[in-house]
Every structure is written in structure tokens, then in C-alpha cells.
Structure 1
Amino acid sequence: MKTTTVQNINTLSAFCGKRDLNALETANLKQKYGIEQADVLVLFGGSILAGGDLLAQAIKNNLAKKYIIVGGYGHTTDGLRKEIQKHLSDSLPVNRLSEAELFNEYLKSTYGLQADYLETKSTNCGNNITYLLELIKKETIPHQSIILIQDAAMQLRMDATFKKFDTHSIVINYAAYQAQVKSRNLQLEYTQEISGMWPIERYISLLMGEIPRLADDENGYGPNGKNYLAHVEVPKEVTYAFLALQQVFPDAVRVANPAYSSKQ
């Protein structure tokens, strides 16, 4: 595999997988934002298993006042079920559990922890946020500062979606993992092991699907397109990397599944 292809994948990965903190520790929050704790930390069910481990770490570090897991059923659910089944009792009916319930069961069985609230209806990034905000409003949860943990491929879009619906909160991003790829024997592979990580072809598809969605033009999800997101500035080097990867992986861009579109 060409060095430029590896570099282009890593460019998209770094762009989409936004992290605003060096680590999920209170000292980092204090240093960067001047707060001892965030009001809320949210894990989104689109994440791979590594997101559950981060949530456990955050709870142990007392990073937030309230912890919420958001996720019903979507394009990532089947993969999550297969991964989490490896860590749960065979008697647990994982095929009937939402993403939020799956992660909460994983937290309980692996760490003896659980979230304060679960949102189990959402099916996509848009209603991940609208249903989250409905839950926050219903439960009167303060959210002047909120940490978002999502799959790294979708982290930047989750940030932009939240900012479309809430322009007042301090949003702190912490992508569930940081993945880089390398080439060995003309094959792509990850530079390090990540818990529950996507097959590499799937990850490339997820990454490449994000760039046209993040675009703020007539075909994208920004204000000048479908208006699902706040404006995102896509750097030229990211656009160039995407266009180059399209030549290498012409069928890799993930198309939105209408089965998971918002019902409201």
C-alpha cells in the first residue's frame, strides 16, 4: 500500500476523531476549562467497545456530575452486539438490547459501574442529540459543560450536531479512540490494538462517509445543505486526502441508511 494512501487515511482519522483534552482527568479539565467537573458526560452508542472503557475511566476519575449513555438502534448496533456478547453472560438477550443498554450492561459486568441515565430511542447522529437534549430537559440536568464521547469516525459530526441545537454549553470532545494505520507487506493494519475496533475496511468506509456529510454545501449536512449540523470548516488537506482515497477506494463512501432516519 502506498505511503500516501496511509497518510491520507491518517489525515481523515485525525480530523474526524476530535479530542479537546489530553486525558480524561480532572486536572486536564481544570487546566483548560477552569472547572473541577463537567456537568454531564455522554457516551454515544455508535462507539466501539473502547468507548465503554473510557466511560468507566471517567466515572472512576469523578470527571462529571452526571453520566448518560445515548443509543437506540442504528448502523453500528449489530457490530456492538457481537463485541459486547464476548464480555457478557450468554443468558443476556443482547439481540433485544439497545446500544445504551448494551454499554450499561458492559459497564456493570466489567467494572461494577453504571450510567445515571440511558436514552434508548435514537437511531442516528441527529436524534442522538435531540433525544439527549429532551432527556436533559425532562430531568432538569444542568449542562453548562458537557463531554461527548463518540466513535472517532463520527466525533466531529457529533460535535457539530450538538452545536446546531445548543449554542450555550461548553462542548468538550473526547473521541473514543485514536487510530492510525500503517502498511506492512502491502496490507493496511492498525498501528496499535484498540478494543472492539472495526475491521480496517469498515473504518475507512466510516471515515470517507464523513467528509461529504461534514461539507457545508448543497450536498452536505451543513447549514447550506441539509442543515443537520453547525458549520464545519473542512481544511483543504482533508479534502485532498478524501479525493485521493476515492481513487483508491471508489466504493468506500458509506451511504446513509434510510431505515435509521429520524422519525420526527
Structure 2
Amino acid sequence: MGSAVLESVEAAAEAHRAYGAPILVSGGIGHSTSFLEDALRQRGVEATTGRPESHVFRDLLTSAGVAPEDVAVEDRSTNCGENAAFTRELISTPQTLLLIQDPTMQRRTHACFERSFADLAGTTLISRAPLIPWIGPDRVSAGPDRPEIWTRDRFRSLILGEIHRLSPDVYGPRGRNFIDHVDIPAEVLAAYNELATRHPQLVRAAAT
């Protein structure tokens, strides 16, 4: 999936080299697009504004040595639910799909693909987040010596927002209906509820 996490390109290229599997990049112009453009500039890569995330990732993958004919794009989606739904339109036979996404959205993405591919028996979904976030004093990245991916404030907003979006009333059956019920670990939900009690403004901001 397109996102502002350039490490996803590295993970996809590595999987392609290891297994010879084709790559389908899903992503149009969404809430992360401007952050992707910023990430490119931070790493000295020329960034043209207003391009679908999948087109940017395709260029990065081919620059990393992946043959152009091995990279397809889906460039209409603007959220995780559409990533899954529009990808399903392009795949008509059972496949093993390795899902690579911004790790803050990996669980929701997997749930969306489970819903969209539920009718295609024999499909196997494997999630692989491209990194485990390293939380530093002033930034969040792939490690202490790696470039910034998120500011601490944005990272906090993203992970708090995920608990909200996984609820039945948002992405679930009573909301946008992109996902089925998702069990949230009790300790995660307890931490979220404690934050909601102590800092309701943070949770409200993350839910927007």
C-alpha cells in the first residue's frame, strides 16, 4: 500500500527478489500523500506534488531494480478500505498476498483485505509491516540512525486514531463496513481508555 513510509518500498523489493512475485501497489491521493512528498524531499529525492502514491512507489521500485512489467498499480484508493476493495477488482483467482503497509495501519489493512477477499476461497493473506517503529525523544523512525518517518505528535495521533477506526461504528459493520469485528487486546484497549480519560483532547483530535 502507498503511504509515507518509504521503508515499504524496501520491503516490497526484498520480497520480490526473494520470491519472484509481482508487485501491485495500491494508493491514490489521500491523507498521507503530502507526507510522502515530504519524506522524499527529506531523503534528497525530487518530489512532484499531486501524484498518486502508487505511481511514486512504482518509480521507487523500478529505481531499486524491479522490472517495470513486474509492478502494477491501483491508483484510485484513498483509504485502507478502498485499497482492499479496488485490489480485489484486479484479482480474480486465489493468490497468496503479502500485505505491506504503514505499520500504524497494518492491522486495519489486514482486516479490510479479509473482508474484501472473503468471497475468493483459497486466498491467503500475510501481513508484513516494513518496520517496528523506534520512538525517540523528538521523532519516530526505523531506528536511532534512520531518517524521521513521523513526528511524535503525528505518530501518537495515528496510533490513537487506529483504535477509533477499528470500532464497529467507524470502519466496522455499523460504519463504513470495510471490516468485520476486530478483537483489540485488553491491555491496548485499557491504555486507550486511560488516555481518553486523562487526555480527551488527544483522543478527539486523533479521531478526526
Give the TM-score normalised by the residue count of structure 1: 0.67
By how many angstroms is 1:108 displaced?
2.5
Indicate the residue corresponding to 2:112 in structure 1.
161
By how many angstroms is 1:180 displaced?
4.0
Deviations, residues 145-180 of structure 1 (Å, cap 9, x unaligned): 111001001000001111112123211000121114
* Separation in 1, partners of 2:86, 2:141: 34
Percentage of identical aligned residues: 29
Judging changes above 3 Å, is the alpha-carbon distance between structure 1 residues 46 and 251 closer, same or farther for their aligned structure 2 residues? Answer: same
Q: Does 1:94 align with 2:48?
A: yes
Larger Rg: 1
By how many angstroms is 1:198 displaced?
1.1
Q: Does 1:178 align with 2:129?
A: no
**SS of corresponding position for 2:202:** coil
* Separation in 2, partners of 1:143, 1:196: 37
Q: Does 1:73 align with 2:52?
A: no
- The runs of 5 or more residues in structure 1 that have no matched partner are 1-43, 257-264
Give the TM-score normalised by the residue count of structure 2: 0.84
* Separation in 2, partners of 1:220, 1:232: 12
**SS of corresponding position for 1:210:** helix
Out of 11, 14, 20, the position equivalent to 1:57 is 14
RMSD (CA atoms): 2.4
List aligned pairs for 1:1-264, cutoff 5 A. 44-62=1-19, 65-85=21-41, 86-88=43-45, 90=46, 94-109=48-63, 111-113=64-66, 114=68, 115-137=70-92, 142-167=93-118, 168=121, 169-181=123-135, 192-193=143-144, 194-195=146-147, 197-216=149-168, 219-246=169-196, 247-248=198-199, 250-252=201-203, 253-256=205-208
* Separation in 1, partners of 2:94, 2:108: 20
Deviations, residues 127-149 of structure 1 (Å, cap 9, x unaligned): 11111111224xxxx44311100
- The runs of 5 or more residues in structure 2 that have no matched partner are none
